[in-house]
Structure 1
């Protein structure tokens, strides 16, 4: 998107360059949206009355309602009118609360308290079907605010100037028309703004051109007068020439002074030299007369010396040679005098020329400074003049072809998929809720349930050997007999079998003592004790069930026993132990020793050494001794007699014992306070009746384990 003042952007004149952010704000402006709403009459909605539901009409409306409010107050209110066709030319008009205004003709102006109203048909079809519809006229301001909020503008990329427009509206065609009209109005406003700016720019450039032309003419006249006044054509070139001439004259002047000094030296040497002395011949210019004479003089001296060496001074040849030498020396002196005079004249001429050139050279900086000031003004005016001429042509081109600020790459369209509500999202939310709610319920149940449920709850927390789990019995007083085939009976038999592995280290010639205990009362240790003893007795072993829970005895709830028992035996000294033991009917080898009367001092009674003798005596008489003891977390009775046990069965009841209490059996196991300790889980839930040859009873009896290939080919 180009800037409207781009013709002056080189000078920094006008607004900043257009960018995507600026144009986005313009597109979201209230003014632009309001123009679009007015253009499409989006504040007027037509609702057609149907048999089942009403539907909104947009371009399919058979009528057009034009409402002109009487004042500003009515413009801010919502007005609802009901239009019902009477015939091809008339209609009935009603308003809020079914207030009938009358029957009117199409196209006629109707006066109402709020202003004026007219209803026109959208086509000339005289056979148009009857209709009944509501016309809702919303305030322009509220409609504008709605579409401003519904308008979405998203940049396509960081390094591009392309944006994507979208609008959310119940009617897809109306949304498309809104976007197309919004962009058209935006471009039209931009073109109008550009034309206004271009015209203003053209007027400004024309005014400035006239002013700059006059100023440029005045400056050029100043340049012309300055050059005439100072007799100049090109100051830089002439200044360079002055400098070159001054250097040349300076060089010649130096050379002349050197020659004058040489000539003076030669004259002095000539006057002081003897008749036979040679004169230097290479100090003077080879082209001068004196140089030639000196060369000839030196030749005569050499010849005279050669002749004088073989003759006397009176020899005519010697005398004649001496005269020639004297005459030649006189000629050299005269030549040097003439040469000195000529050099003096040359020096004076050079001094005079150098003085003239130096004066002109001294004037050059001033002339150059003054000319530079005038020349600078001329160049500035000329550059500005050329620039304005160029911009005048650019402005003319801008006025001739003004481009749009935005180019529409893809026109608005509706893909056919509603923006909201989205079926996939609703399905996904329903799926998530369907999974989350049961999951949350299960999680809360698990979080709030602190009771032990099954074998897994024990095994993942404790490392104590596990004998098995016993399902909940159908009857509280159930006792295993020869014909028992219930799940509880089978579970007890499994516990009996696993118990044999715990007793492998016990001596075989004496009875094996198994203590049964629990953490708290009510976990079914008495039930386990009774049925375990009965199961072992049915296998042909001689079994004695001893009640050692002397504080809260429960054996009488399961089997008929004597009221006197262990406590009576321990408190008396003259009684035989066998007199307290009872044999159960229907069992050949099942005997019971009850706990006896509840004593006032159970701890002191159990600390009596007589109890150790009692267990020693019983081990000699029975194969198995099952002892029902007191809960270990309530009293210390069980710990006082624990040393008499060959194995401990620790009963844990499902859905009864809190998981946080599992640290108690763990502590006893780790500290070895209960010898040869193992666990039995009691009262687990049974999910299937009957019994199958499988493993465990924790969460229901499993079916018979079949080979893998039978499961695969099972029909």
Structure 2
């Protein structure tokens, strides 16, 4: 009875994931990683070389907002005139105005950047701007039509005086003179060079005209407007662009347009006040002229030269009352003027600080003007149905009604005061009954003259004050830092691009290899076998490029020879429990071409080198290979013996001198191999081998295709199951696993053949064979590093 071999329990312990094995599996393909990284770096270099650089241009402005720490008011001296009042500005509102479509539209129109110019190069086309554009284009079409164009054309300089016009589709539109009117599909135009001497001969410039709306929206998306500090009025504007000068012009133009709008808004009250004062002065000038003529006519008619001295005292007492009457009449006149202006001008600003002595009227007038200005400002970028506009309209109507009522009340109180003053004056006049009638009439005329003259001088003063207010109007924004950009581009970021390219260059080979490994179902290493089959593995036979099948020589010390010597050692250990002097070893595999005949042949050779008598039997009578491998044409073999009962074994067993062992070849291919092997004659072959040899090695058929091996397996002392690496599908490992589990093959052990140790598929995944380690064996010449 055979004893249980201790190697049957080898490799039963589950192993953890071997990260070193995985790393070395990828490391074997290091050349692909290096190639991928180099190609990625080259691609990144070309990308950076031909991708236009983008520069960040920024500007900082200070918004005039005293409540938020903005500009101090240098015009506080005019506050007593009521000319510098105004509402506090919201920083968020100002940021919204700076990003508004209308503001950016005016900037694009002023700079004319809806048309962009590009200079064609050999590889890429680069944008040029301002002084780099060698010519000017004047369009005959209206601006409204030019701003809607979406077209492209090219101009090629032919000489100092001529150029060619090329359409977007490459069609040439003829040769023209500079300054000549050129008719195109989108209208007529004239092209003039900026310099007569410095022309662009043989250079091609591409002109792209884009719709104004699309250019504005593109710039608005690129524009960043944000508060520099949380509790400040500093606003930072930034813009990215391929041409730094162009971005600087856009930001500077944006601030300029913003200040221009702010100054116009602030000047609106003063402009309306000036128009009102001039209108009233024109009327009063006529009244004053008529009064002066009346005085002249009265004195001429009545032959008056001086006031009687006797009326001096009475007139002095009456002077105070007359002054009061003049002031009251002036206030009544002003009230009438303002009431008339308020009724005839519904959406106009209310004249400020005309001298009415009613505090409510002045206060409501200031609030009315502030709300009307805010309404008009918001209405520029919205409609009348906007909730804020509707709310402001309601407040404006309420203030307008309040001002009208206040003026009516003021006029009523002034009339009452005037009546009282007239009564007092009549009392005084009764005391001067002796004054001639002419003198009294003259005083009436003179009083009218003083009233009109006082009002005239008052309006002249207000006009000068209003002119001062208009002259010193300050903008909303003070430029702290003019638009400027760094010489270092912000995009593309060179370090990030190179880093991303390097990572991509390493990732792509990794992903390709990962996919290859993922869909690779071949057996590569002992670990692949151990994960499924718990049978002992006696060794690994390295891959060889040698053409001869006999690879073990007496003096060979290369890795493959050493691997067969190691296999011999393990076999002796596996067969240590066999008590019979002769050991029978069956060699089989799952499918053909796994190298079982190759293993059997070299196993016989290595056993013979240890001074053992070895018989090699070719039992694979369906597809024999031994005679091909040994390059010997045997006359008769096993098939002949099984068929012919008169044939003797010693007549068909041949000695292979080069291998120092005997060979019983398979013979001819029989039509009924299974029946021949079961006829009992094969038992005689094994019995003969046990009587005359130390080792009998039987090369049997693959177990997946036929049952020949299983029919003979009871005669085996050890079943050597050959698995070819990089050839056998892992799914077929279920067959040897079932063989081992169900003990269909006695004392079954595994041998991994054709292992590619250079790829890291050696035993345990460490990637070295038996040769060249620790000085044992001869090293195989290394392949040049550049060969893939």
The structure with the larger Rg is 1
Distance in 2 between the 1:139 and 1:512 partners? 93
Q: Check the 8 A contact 2:525/2:764 in 1, yes or no.
A: no
Following superposition, the deviation at residue 422 of structure 1 comes to 3.2
Where does 1:446-461 land on structure 2 (aligned, <5 Å)?
Answer: 446-459=517-530, 461=532
Distance in 2 between the 1:428 and 1:189 partners? 48
Distance in 2 between the 1:180 and 1:544 partners? 100
Q: Check the 8 A contact 1:33/1:147 in 2, yes or no.
A: no
Following superposition, the deviation at residue 665 of structure 1 comes to 1.9
Match of 2:238 in 1: 166
Over 3 Å counting, the alpha-carbon distance change for 1:536 and 1:136 in structure 2 is: closer
Matched positions, count:
503
Q: Check the 8 A contact 2:223/2:239 in 1, yes or no.
A: yes
Match of 2:547 in 1: 475
Secondary structure at the aligned position of 1:514 is classed as strand
Match of 2:576 in 1: 504
Distance in 1 between the 2:238 and 2:755 partners? 63
Match of 2:175 in 1: 99
Asked if residue 592 in structure 1 is aligned to residue 659 in structure 2, the reply is: no
Of 559, 577, 583, the residue aligned with 2:655 is 583
Match of 2:623 in 1: 552
Where does 1:544-693 land on structure 2 (aligned, <5 Å)?
Answer: 544-559=615-630, 560=632, 562-570=634-642, 576-586=648-658, 590-608=661-679, 611-612=682-683, 614-685=685-756
Match of 1:325 in 2: none
Q: Check the 8 A contact 1:30/1:148 in 2, yes or no.
A: no
Following superposition, the deviation at residue 577 of structure 1 comes to 4.3
Q: Check the 8 A contact 1:147/1:167 in 2, yes or no.
A: no
Distance in 2 between the 1:604 and 1:85 partners? 97
Of 689, 704, 707, the residue aligned with 2:773 is 704
Match of 1:493 in 2: 565
Following superposition, the deviation at residue 175 of structure 1 comes to 0.4
Over 3 Å counting, the alpha-carbon distance change for 1:665 and 1:194 in structure 2 is: farther
Q: Check the 8 A contact 1:36/1:185 in 2, yes or no.
A: yes
Bigger relative contact order (CA 8 A; separation at least 6) = 2
Following superposition, the deviation at residue 702 of structure 1 comes to 5.3
Distance in 1 between the 2:645 and 2:182 partners? 121
Distance in 1 between the 2:628 and 2:155 partners? 87
Q: Check the 8 A contact 2:98/2:225 in 1, yes or no.
A: no
Distance in 2 between the 1:397 and 1:102 partners? 51
Distance in 1 between the 2:582 and 2:102 partners? 105
Of 89, 94, 104, the residue aligned with 1:33 is 104
Of 126, 130, 136, the residue aligned with 2:197 is 130
Following superposition, the deviation at residue 632 of structure 1 comes to 0.8
Following superposition, the deviation at residue 433 of structure 1 comes to 3.4
Over 3 Å counting, the alpha-carbon distance change for 1:618 and 1:17 in structure 2 is: same
Distance in 2 between the 1:118 and 1:534 partners? 95
Of 508, 511, 515, the residue aligned with 1:437 is 508
Following superposition, the deviation at residue 529 of structure 1 comes to 0.6
Secondary structure at the aligned position of 1:558 is classed as helix
Q: Check the 8 A contact 1:523/1:656 in 2, yes or no.
A: yes
The more displaced of 412-421 and 517-526 is 412-421
Following superposition, the deviation at residue 144 of structure 1 comes to 3.6
Following superposition, the deviation at residue 515 of structure 1 comes to 0.9
Distance in 2 between the 1:421 and 1:445 partners? 34
Match of 1:211 in 2: 405
Deviations 1:510-532 (A, max 9, x none): 21111100110111111111111
Deviations 1:167-216 (A, max 9, x none): 33332012012112212312432443355479726669346446226448
Deviations 1:666-699 (A, max 9, x none): 22223322222222222344769xxxxx999977
Where does 1:318-357 land on structure 2 (aligned, <5 Å)?
Answer: none
Following superposition, the deviation at residue 629 of structure 1 comes to 0.7
Q: Check the 8 A contact 2:225/2:236 in 1, yes or no.
A: yes
Secondary structure at the aligned position of 2:599 is classed as helix
Over 3 Å counting, the alpha-carbon distance change for 1:502 and 1:158 in structure 2 is: farther
Over 3 Å counting, the alpha-carbon distance change for 1:647 and 1:396 in structure 2 is: farther
Match of 2:247 in 1: 175
Asked if residue 42 in structure 1 is aligned to residue 118 in structure 2, the reply is: no
User: What root-mean-square deviation, in Å, do the aligned CA atoms of Structure 1 and Structure 2 show?
Assistant: 5.1
Where does 1:23-422 land on structure 2 (aligned, <5 Å)?
Answer: 26-43=97-114, 58=129, 60=131, 65=136, 67=138, 69-71=140-142, 72-73=144-145, 76-77=148-149, 92=161, 96=165, 97=173, 99-101=175-177, 130-133=197-200, 138=209, 141=212, 144-145=215-216, 147-148=218-219, 151-153=222-224, 155=226, 164-193=236-265, 196=268, 200=349, 205-206=364-365, 208-209=402-403, 211-212=405-406, 214-215=408-409, 410-422=481-493
Over 3 Å counting, the alpha-carbon distance change for 1:143 and 1:548 in structure 2 is: closer
Distance in 1 between the 2:573 and 2:351 partners? 113
Distance in 1 between the 2:154 and 2:551 partners? 88
Distance in 2 between the 1:460 and 1:398 partners? 95
Over 3 Å counting, the alpha-carbon distance change for 1:536 and 1:425 in structure 2 is: same
Unaligned 5+ runs, structure 1? 5-13, 104-109, 122-127, 222-394, 689-693, 708-715
Following superposition, the deviation at residue 654 of structure 1 comes to 2.9
Secondary structure at the aligned position of 2:484 is classed as coil
Following superposition, the deviation at residue 549 of structure 1 comes to 1.4
Distance in 2 between the 1:632 and 1:197 partners? 107
Unaligned 5+ runs, structure 2? 1-62, 67-85, 166-172, 273-348, 353-360, 366-399, 416-465, 777-788
Following superposition, the deviation at residue 664 of structure 1 comes to 1.9
Over 3 Å counting, the alpha-carbon distance change for 1:396 and 1:212 in structure 2 is: farther
Q: Check the 8 A contact 1:471/1:698 in 2, yes or no.
A: no
Following superposition, the deviation at residue 609 of structure 1 comes to 5.5
Following superposition, the deviation at residue 53 of structure 1 comes to 10
Distance in 2 between the 1:137 and 1:602 partners? 86
The more displaced of 35-44 and 635-644 is 35-44
Distance in 2 between the 1:116 and 1:594 partners? 99
Match of 1:536 in 2: 607
Secondary structure at the aligned position of 1:504 is classed as helix
Secondary structure at the aligned position of 2:492 is classed as coil
**TM-score computed with the length of structure 2 as normaliser:** 0.53
Match of 1:426 in 2: 497
Over 3 Å counting, the alpha-carbon distance change for 1:572 and 1:66 in structure 2 is: closer
Q: Check the 8 A contact 1:471/1:487 in 2, yes or no.
A: no
Following superposition, the deviation at residue 412 of structure 1 comes to 2.9
